Structures are given as C-alpha cells and as structure tokens.
Structure 1
Amino acid sequence: MSAVLSEPRTPQGRLGLETLVASPGRALVAFDYDGTLAPIVEDPTQAIPQPGIVEALGKLAERVGLVAIITGRPAHLAVDLAGLNGAPGLSDVVVVGHYGMQRWDARTEVLQTAEAPPGIDRVRRELPSLLESLGLADADIEDKGLSIAVHVRRLPDPQHAFDVIRQPLAELAERVDLAAEPGRFVMELRPRGMHKGQALRQLAAEFSARSVMFTGDDLGDLAAFAEVRRLRESGVAGLAVCSGSAEVTELAEQADLVVDGPPGVAALIESLASAIRSSAASASDASPSDRSTGAE
C-alpha cells in the first residue's frame, strides 16, 4: 500500500481500504459532489471541481470496478459542471442525481429520471411569500425540478437566516408530504424516502460489490455512511470518508477517515490509484511459489 495513503482510524475502515486495494475490480467507489469533489461556493451554478480531481478520478476509474457520483443535484448539472462527458478514464462513470431519482450513465449517455411529486408545485407557489414573511426574501431559491433548495450562504448573517428558515420550511414540507433536508446553510425540500443511502445500496447490489467506499461532506451524506455500515453487516467491506469542514462536524464523527475538504479528497483519490497500481505490480512480480503460499 502506498506510503502516502492515509490510514483509516477504525478497524472496519482499515479492512475496507485493504479489501478495496487488494480486489479493486469488485470495488464501488462513490463520491458526493458539492463540498467533496467541488469546493462549496456562494453560487451553486459555479461549483466547478477541485483542480485536478476529474483527472484523478479518471485514473482511479481505470483501476476499480465502478466510480460513481451520488449527489442531490440534477445529474445532468453535475455532469456538465464537472465536464464528465468524454473525460479520459471515465467512460463508465455513473452519476446518480436527486438522491436517486435520476441516473446518468457515461457508457450510454442516457439520463433516466422520475416524475416530480405534486408537492413540489405547491412549494414553488408558496415559498417566495413564506420567505418574504420571514424577512428573508433575498435568500436564493434553487429549483432543481425534482426538489427545491433554499440557500442562505450569501445573506449577511447566514447562520441566523438558517436558524430562522429551518422550522418553517420543515412545516411546509410536512404540509405537502415532502422531506426537509438541512445542509450547509441550505434547506432542501424533496420527496420522502429518497436519500443517498438508498442510491448507494442500489449501486452496490447492481454491481455485486465486495467493497464500497463513499466520500461526502454534509448532513445529506449521513444516510450513505449508514448504508456503508449496513453493507458491512452483510459481508461487504466498507469505508466512509469525510471531506472535512468547520461547518459540519457530525459527518467527521461517523467517518472512518477524515480528509481536508476537496483538496484532501483529490489527494486521497491520487494516492488510492497509486496504491492499487503498486499492489497490482507487486502481485505480478511475485513468483508462482510466492503466490501459492501467500508470501509477499
């Protein structure tokens, strides 16, 4: 294993990483987008990837079974922002958007999408007046089609604004039979029962993965961390990685490994690809007698 590859702090995480490196062809490696592959920015439409990270993903994708992106964004927006269509090494990448309600496959370039629930239309109608009544008419409304998010990061006091909107938006979601998901100075209203854990579970089953690694940064990624733990119980080695930030601590507390935001994720991807390459080279260099006895 590469000397620069960080070691998980938990035994389960170490086993997950060891299994991934030893048997990469059956590994599912999945990432959140915002705050993980791309730095958090004030304008979500400008969230471009961390420099060099798409190239690193291409190198990793050539060495593992499947690389996937699981995001709350519409899948096609993540594809466009990251420039994934036609990116070297990423001819098989899968992008799951809207917490599992959309899927884009690089191999076919087909976008599959579900229908928006009726409650989304009610949110569109009621949200502007609700925000105005809260004195937050300048909050940014991001209409994703299948969900709607309210961002307060660009307001003068984003923490106060977030505290103000949290309960009223949760009540609005309840009235229209949607879920309200808090994030980093954002509240998102989306269909119930759709979360990144479910999306990760479906990919792992479809791929018959022997190991799964998921990297995320925000509260919406907790469900994927929980799924990594559930997969471990079923015999699939797992590694949960937090793209750390000062804004969200809950994820770091549940992670097997914490890296320093998108730059740390880029370094992790590079070192993981290098470790897999070194492991494969060592295996090919071993003599037949060494391999038969398990010697290294």
Structure 2
Amino acid sequence: MAETERPTHPASADDAWARTARHASSTTFFFDFDGVLSPVTKDPSASQPVPESLGVLERLAAKVARVAIVSARPVDFLRSRFGGLEHVDLYGLYGLEVLHEGDVVTKPAALEYAEPMAALAAEAEAVLSRPVFVEYKRLSVALHYRECPERADEVERWAHERAERANLKIQRGRMVVELKPPVDQDKGMVITEAVRDTGCAWYFGDDMSDIKAFDALRAREAVDPAFFGMAIAVANDETGAEVSSAADLTLASPTAVAEFLTEGLRRL
C-alpha cells in the first residue's frame, strides 16, 4: 500500500477487495469457526462448516499470503473439520494451541492445567444436569446453556465460583461460559502477533471475543498507516449488535460468508 493511501473506515466491500487485490501477496485472512464458518448448533460437537466454505478457503489460500482459523475450539476439533485443507493454519483455544505446517504447538504455561480441567469437566457433568452441555477441551471447559437459557444465572454463578476457587479465567460467549487457564492469551493477541509483517488482514467474527481481534487490526493501522485491516461481523440475534457495531461490514450467515468470499476471489 502506498504511503499516500490511507485506510478509511467503514470501508465498502468494493474498496476492501480492491485494496486486497493490490496487496494479495502480503494479506492474511482470519476466521472464527462457530457462527462464521459453521452455524451455531445446540450440540457443539455436531458443528460442521458449511460445505461451500471448504473449497473457498483452499482457493483463497492459493491467492493470498495466509489463511487461518482462530477459534475457541481445540486444534484437534478444527483438524477433524478442516484436515483436508493443506494451506490453512489453525489456532485453537484462543491461540493456546497452534497448528502450522503439520505441527501443533501448545503454550507451555497452559499445559499444567490439563489434569485440573479434566477434573473440572467431570465435576460440571455431575453437578450441572442436562440440558446444560459440558464441553471438555483439554485445556478449558465450556458450559453451554443454549437449550436451557433460563439456567444462565445458575451456570454463570457456578462457573464464577469455580474460577475464583481455582484461579481460572472466565470467557463469555453466545449462550456459553468458559473456564480457561490464567494464561494471558486471547484472539486479539493472536492477531496482534500475526499481522506484524503483513500489509493487509481481514478478520471474520460473530462473538464478543472477536471484538478484540477487530481492535488488534485497528491498533495495527494506528501504528502503520500503510496497513489495511478489514473487520467483518456475521449477524446473530445474541451478540450480533455489539459485534456489528465494531465491524466494517456485516454478513448475514456462514453461507453468506462463503458467498462473499467466492465473489471476492473473482477480484483477486
């Protein structure tokens, strides 16, 4: 991007694709999984990417410098959904795990929490009856109350009590509260590190944790006027308003994301 070319927000889709086409070799695309590449499901273990997204991500990776998925899901889960994609990097558990070129790297400070999290998941299963869904992620435990929203206060209270007792972090999401190791790591930190040597980056998100990634793009623009960041929200009736207010553009659904990328690829 030329020194005289300054990012303008909110950028139109046409303008954003034109900027990206000029700098495709230094552009990275980042995607959340749930709500962005896959519809949010009542049973989190059943979530699958929309079929159109698999091919479009592979084609996109051939056109730009890098494509990566940045998710609260573990790398093993993401690999089971995207294992056939050769050129897409996977960040699991908000970046506590990273799969790059076949190798999985885990933040050392988080490893000591594997056994405590297994015990916490077992306790949650015993105490929080169905339909609360306990998702054990090896290094974190997510408590989903999508099928019983009337129990939100009960689940939140239980999570906070356990977090305080065990010195854990709390992460809220769409009808879910998650207990995580007290390790300084979030999606914003992933993006901050990943865009240091890029000229352009896009991030697609739908939940509160994704706003930190949007903020990381803005922070990069503030220190490097030649950098262009594009923040894309995916609409939902739970956190959609807050996420959209922090984004440049909003798309209607994971299917709309795949369609948007397919159209954009024609311009790269």
User: How would you bin the TM-score normalised by the shorter chain?
Assistant: 0.7 to 0.9
In the alignment, structure 1 segments of 5+ residues that lack a partner are 1-7, 277-296
Matched, 1:188 2:178: yes
Residue type of the partner of 1:23? H
In the alignment, structure 2 segments of 5+ residues that lack a partner are 1-7
Partner residue, 2:145? 152
Distance 1:213 1:22 in 2: 14
CA contact (8 A) 1:12 1:238 kept: no
Query: Which 10-residue stretch deviates more, 237-246 or 227-236?
Result: 227-236
Give secondary structure in 2 for the equivalent of 1:52: helix
Query: Which 10-residue stretch deviates more, 113-122 or 235-244?
Result: 113-122
Aligned residues: 255
Partner residue, 1:101? 96
Deviations 1:115-148 (A, max 9, x none): 4355564454456656766xx4212111101111
Matched, 1:262 2:254: yes
Partner residue, 1:114? 107
Q: Give TM-score, length-normalised by structure 1.
A: 0.78
Give secondary structure in 1 for the equivalent of 2:68: strand
Residue type of the partner of 2:250? V
Q: Kindly report which structure 2 residues correspond to 1:14-93, keeping only aligned pairs within 5 A, or say none.
A: 16-82=16-82, 84-85=83-84, 87=85, 91-93=86-88
Give secondary structure in 1 for the equivalent of 2:48: coil
Distance 1:172 1:17 in 2: 46
Give secondary structure in 1 for the equivalent of 2:143: strand
Matched, 1:251 2:246: no
> Structure 1 vs Structure 2: percent identity of aligned residues?
25
CA contact (8 A) 1:128 1:137 kept: no
In angstroms, what is the RMSD of aligned CA positions? 2.4
Q: Give TM-score, length-normalised by structure 2.
A: 0.86
Match of 2:214 among 225, 234, 238: 225
CA contact (8 A) 1:117 1:191 kept: no
Deviations 1:42-71 (A, max 9, x none): 222211111211101111111111111111
Higher Cα Rg, which structure: 1
Distance 1:239 1:13 in 2: 9
Residue type of the partner of 2:68? A
Partner residue, 1:291? none
Give secondary structure in 2 for the equivalent of 1:58: helix
Match of 1:165 among 129, 140, 155: 155
Q: Kindly report which structure 2 residues correspond to 1:209-220, keeping only aligned pairs within 5 A, or say none.
A: 209-220=198-209
Give secondary structure in 1 for the equivalent of 2:40: coil
Instruction: Report the Cα offset of residue 209 of structure 1.
Output: 0.6
